[in-house]
């Protein structure tokens, strides 16, 4: 079904490209050719790799900092009342402003780039995990208290499994948001990565190569979704599947 | 002189309500549990029985007075809801309460007695309420607790399932003598299980009567149990 609908998409694209017949919309075959040229020269792998590294670094920073703050705010109503306005402020600063300011204040370097991307994502993670921490079931906490679970045991067996759906939600929305912002960061202040290449070929008005990089990166993200995230989700949700008495 | 396992001397416990009123849940509760006794607490619903259990378990500390656990040993509890972690199997749930390096072999025996040996790798949502309650009992007994707190652990089970669990509980208690304090609203349950019954008044909870039941549980027949239940019933206001 989904393969069929993708085929229809490619077909429509070919028809439209033939009808327009100029280089603003190259045919799928032309894009495929550009992709192969970039692949053979090694450029595609290099720039994809750089972007992927930035996505991974920004994701790790955003998830660890964001979930730590989120869980803390979910458990401490007073801290939440103090921090909440900041969070709303941060949520409403445009990504572009954070990126530009980060480059101005910290220089055109990798740390500023990754930090700016992470900072754009952190408020979302905080809000998602704060909801998770608020919904922790006190019955399980009491059971853990009566049976004298230590901090580590409580975290691993009682708290984290309850937060798992919230981590999954933050991961899903996080990765797609992060990779889009990483391209902007690369366009504005890095000399490699998919965003840099798109900027380069934009100046050359080479739409085929722009699309080649775009689809290549979408392909990588689909691989992450189907080969990493979904199997992981299935594994952690085994207990939900086993219903019935 | 019989050793005591728990001394309760609570002067009072009040809760501030949303509208500014104060609710008095417990008032002057003073009793001692002899070691290895099986005590049932009965009283009108909402009279503060569960509040008392929470105070004994250390989950509620905002009371005046003192509660003293005598001697060493673990405290275990079975709540009204089994409170098994749904994302861990039955066996994992039970092993979790043990120390990490504890490879306890009595677990096999416990599973056997409770009829859970085929359920070890099941998740709690695959169990009926009766089986989940057995798993919660196994989790409590695997600790070999000095004090076991039971908060209506057999509520909303059908009669025959409840009776089977009564027999199992007595069997576990005889195999591993521990001091049990159990809240129930079912007089006939108290008549089957307890050797002492504490009768509480309506809220705020006060001790109205303390009934010692002489013949051991194993020697009580149906007629005797009925008579005991009626005697407890008369003292409950």
Same structural domain, B150 and B69: yes
Percent of chain B with pLDDT over 90: 40
Ranges A64-73, A152-161, B28-37, B95-104: which has the least confidence:
B95-104
Q: How much is the pLDDT for A139?
A: 94
Q: How much is the pLDDT for A175?
A: 85
Contact B85 A147 (CB under 8 A): no
Question: Which of A171-177's residues contact partners 24+ apart within 8 Å by CB, and which partners?
Answer: A171/A63, A171/A229, A172/A229, A173/A124, A173/A128, A174/A59, A174/A62, A174/A63, A174/A121, A174/A124, A174/A125, A175/A55, A175/A59, A175/A221, A175/A224, A175/A225, A175/A229, A176/A221, A177/A120, A177/A121, A177/A124
- Report strand pairing: B207-212 vs B75-78: unpaired
Is residue B101 over pLDDT 90? no
Contact B85 A158 (CB under 8 A): yes
Give the strands of the sheet with B196-200, arranged side by side: B75-78, B147-151, B179-183, B38-42, B196-200, B207-212
For A200-213, what is the mean pLDDT?
Answer: 93
Contact B126 A244 (CB under 8 A): yes
Residue whose tokens read 């028809």: A15
Same structural domain, B137 and B158: no
DSSP-assigned letter for residue B155: T
- Per-residue pLDDT tens digits for B180-237: 999 998 899 999 999 999 998 888 888 888 989 988 888 888 888 898 989 888 887 6
Phi then psi dihedrals of residue A154, to 5 deg: -65, -45
Half-sphere exposure in the Cβ direction for A20 (13 Å, CA): 12
Same structural domain, B151 and B168: yes
Dig out the tokens for B46 from the structure.
């909402």
Q: What is the rounded CA–CA span in Å between residue A34 and residue A211?
A: 9
Residue (of B162, B129, B136) closest to B150 by Cα position:
B136
Dig out the tokens for A48 from the structure.
């994809």
What pLDDT band is residue A235 in, cutting at 50, 70 and 90? confident
DSSP tally for chain A: helices H, then strands E:
13, 0
Q: SS3 of B21, please?
A: coil
User: Which of A92-96, B11-15, B201-205 has the highest average model confidence (pLDDT)?
Assistant: A92-96
Domain edge (last residue) among B143, B174, B191: B143
Same structural domain, B69 and B160: yes
Query: What value of ipTM does the predicted structure carry?
Result: 0.88
Q: How many domains does chain B have?
A: 2
Domain edge (last residue) among B94, B123, B143: B143
Same structural domain, B191 and B226: yes
Q: Domains in chain A, start-ordered, CATH in brackets?
A: 41-238 (1.10.3720.10)
- Beta-strand ranges (E) seen in chain A are none
Q: Let me know if A47 is exposed, middle or buried by CB neighbors in 10 A (0-12, 13-18, 19+).
A: buried
In a domain, B116, yes or no: yes
Same structural domain, B153 and B217: yes
For B67-71, what is the mean pLDDT?
Answer: 85
Contact B88 A146 (CB under 8 A): no
Separation in Å, CA B45 to CA B53, B140, B173, B204: 14, 25, 27, 11
CB A195 within 8 A of CB A53: no
> Which chain B residue lies closest to A145 (C-alpha atoms)?
B59
Q: How much is the pLDDT for B104?
A: 64
Residue (of A131, A125, A136) closest to A170 by Cα position:
A125
Same structural domain, B69 and B170: yes
Mutate to test the interface with A, among B82, B94, B125, B131 (most CBs of A within 10 A): B125
CB B10 within 8 A of CB B26: yes
Same structural domain, B121 and B65: no
Same structural domain, B19 and B122: no
Q: How much is the pLDDT for A146?
A: 93
In a domain, B181, yes or no: yes
Q: What is the rounded CA–CA span in Å between residue A211 and residue B199?
A: 80
Same structural domain, B150 and B218: yes
What value, to the nearest 5°, has the Cα angle with vertex A154 and ends A148 and A156?
Answer: 145
Q: How much is the pLDDT for A229?
A: 86
- Report strand pairing: B4-16 vs B64-69: antiparallel
DSSP tally for chain B: helices H, then strands E:
7, 9
For B16-20, what is the mean pLDDT?
Answer: 81
Same structural domain, B207 and B102: no
CB B49 within 8 A of CB B56: no
Q: Which residues from chain A sit within 8 angstroms of residue B125, using beta carbons?
A: 239-240, 242-243
In a domain, B78, yes or no: no
Q: How much is the pLDDT for A245?
A: 43
Spatial CB neighbours of A225, under 8 Å, sequence gap ≥ 6: A175
Contact A143 B83 (CB under 8 A): yes
Q: A155 to chain B nearest CA, in Å?
A: 13
Q: What is the rounded CA–CA span in Å between residue B229 and residue B181?
A: 18
Contact A242 B122 (CB under 8 A): yes
CB A31 within 8 A of CB A22: no
Same structural domain, B175 and B58: yes
Please report the residues numbered 111 through 140 in chain A whose beta carbons come closer than 8 angstroms to any beta carbon of chain B.
139-140
Dig out the tokens for A71 from the structure.
């869980």
- Per-residue pLDDT tens digits for A12-61: 999 998 898 888 889 899 999 999 999 999 999 999 999 999 999 999 99
Q: How much is the pLDDT for B1?
A: 43
Residue B128's domain comprises 83-143
């Amino acid at each position: 079904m989904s393969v069929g609908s993708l085929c229809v998409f490619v077909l429509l694209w070919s028809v439209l490209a033939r009808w327009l017949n100029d280089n603003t919309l190259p045919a799928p075959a032309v894009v495929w050719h550009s992709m192969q040229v970039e692949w053979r020269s090694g450029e595609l792998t290099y720039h994809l790799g750089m972007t992927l590294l930035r996505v991974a670094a920004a994701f790790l920073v955003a998830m660890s900092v964001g979930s730590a703050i989120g869980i803390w705010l979910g458990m401490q109503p007073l801290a939440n009342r103090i921090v909440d306005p900041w969070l709303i402020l941060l949520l409403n600063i445009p990504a572009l402003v954070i990126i530009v300011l980060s480059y101005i204040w910290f220089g055109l370097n990798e740390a500023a780039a990754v930090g700016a991307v992470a900072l754009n994502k952190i408020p979302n993670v905080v809000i998602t995990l704060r909801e998770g921490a608020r919904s922790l079931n006190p019955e399980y906490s009491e059971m853990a208290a009566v049976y004298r679970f230590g901090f580590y045991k409580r975290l691993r067996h009682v708290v984290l499994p309850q937060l798992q759906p919230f981590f999954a939600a933050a991961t899903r929305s996080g990765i797609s948001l992060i990779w889009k912002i990483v391209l902007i960061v690369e366009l504005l202040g890095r000399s490699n990565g998919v965003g840099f290449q798109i900027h380069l070929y934009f100046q050359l008005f080479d739409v085929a190569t722009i699309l080649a990089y775009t689809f290549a990166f979408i392909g990588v993200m689909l691989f992450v979704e189907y080969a990493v995230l979904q199997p992981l989700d299935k594994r952690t949700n085994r207990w939900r599947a086993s219903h019935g008495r | 002189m019989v050793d005591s396992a728990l001394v309760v001397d609570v002067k009072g416990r009040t809760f501030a309500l949303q509208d500014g009123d104060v609710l008095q849940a417990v008032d002057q509760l003073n009793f001692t549990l002899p070691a290895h006794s099986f005590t049932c607490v009965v009283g009108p619903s909402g009279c503060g029985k569960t509040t008392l259990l929470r105070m004994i378990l250390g989950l509620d500390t905002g009371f005046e007075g003192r509660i003293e656990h005598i001697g060493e040993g673990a405290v275990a509890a079975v709540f009204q809801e089994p409170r098994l972690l749904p994302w861990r199997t039955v066996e994992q749930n039970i092993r979790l309460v043990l120390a990490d390096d504890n490879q306890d072999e009595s677990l096999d025996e416990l599973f056997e007695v409770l009829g859970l040996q085929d359920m070890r790798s099941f998740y709690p949502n695959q169990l009926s309420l009766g089986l989940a309650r057995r798993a919660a009992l196994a989790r409590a007994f695997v600790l070999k607790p000095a004090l076991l707190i039971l908060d209506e652990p057999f509520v909303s089970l059908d009669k025959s399932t409840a009776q089977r669990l009564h027999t199992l509980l007595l069997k576990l208690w005889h195999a591993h003598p521990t001091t049990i304090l159990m809240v129930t609203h079912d007089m006939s349950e108290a008549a089957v299980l307890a050797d002492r019954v504490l009768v509480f008044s309506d809220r705020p909870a006060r001790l109205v009567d303390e009934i010692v039941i002489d013949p051991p549980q194993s020697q009580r027949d149906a007629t005797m149990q009925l008579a005991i239940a009626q005697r407890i019933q008369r003292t409950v206001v």
